[in-house]
Amino acid sequence: MLSKAAGVLALNSLEVHAATLRSHGGATVDAFTVSPRFGSLPDASLLREQLSRAIEGSLPLADKLAAKERDYGGPPLDPPPAKVLWFDDESTGAVVLELRAADRIGLLHRVASALEQCGVDVQWARVSTLGATVVDSFSIAGADLDRRRIERAVLDAAR
């Protein structure tokens, strides 16, 4: 859900500041704190319709976000190299992956998709945009947390 919701928000020029993810009884609840990059918030019914289409697979988010990025000038020129940091919380057993990278349209969508493809469950995400760079943190869990494979996938998504 995180990648699809983040993709729909990016498609509508909404900047994500934080995401809280919860599952209960087989249902997933994602709560996002967002602000429009410019203009006003889009109509909620449009967001619902696009999210439904993204979930069912009839909205090609990756293609639409790539087109949007091309329309707005493409990725940043000569961005600083992306970096992944790992933190382990011994008291809770949580593993936190932190990504520091140049901001791009749909970055959270691409990174969340990469995590999903690695079989990782995201418990929570804290997303910060600082000028042209992001510091995105994800508390992750999963049966197989192959850190090298996950890190490669996240760094590839950030390019």
Mean pLDDT, residues 81-99? 91
**What digits encode the pLDDT tens for the residues 27-81?**
878 888 899 988 899 999 999 999 999 999 999 999 999 999 888 876 667 778 9
154: closest CA among 133, 132, 130, 138?
138
Distance (Å, rounded) from C-alpha 83 to C-alpha 106?
18
Closest by CA position to 110, among listed 4, 23, 28? 4
Comparing C-alpha atoms, which of 1, 24, 30, 7 is closest to residue 108?
A: 7
CA distances to 10, 42, 46, 47 from 102, in Å: 15, 25, 28, 26
Report the predicted TM-score, pTM, of the whole model to 2 decimal places.
0.86
Q: Domain 2-158 carries which CATH code?
A: 3.30.70.260
| pLDDT given at position 38 | 84
Domain extent listing, the chain? 2-158
Rounded (to 5) percent helix, strand, coil in the chain: 35, 35, 30
pLDDT band of residue 18 (cuts 50, 70, 90) is confident
105-125 tens-digit pLDDT:
999 999 999 999 999 988 888
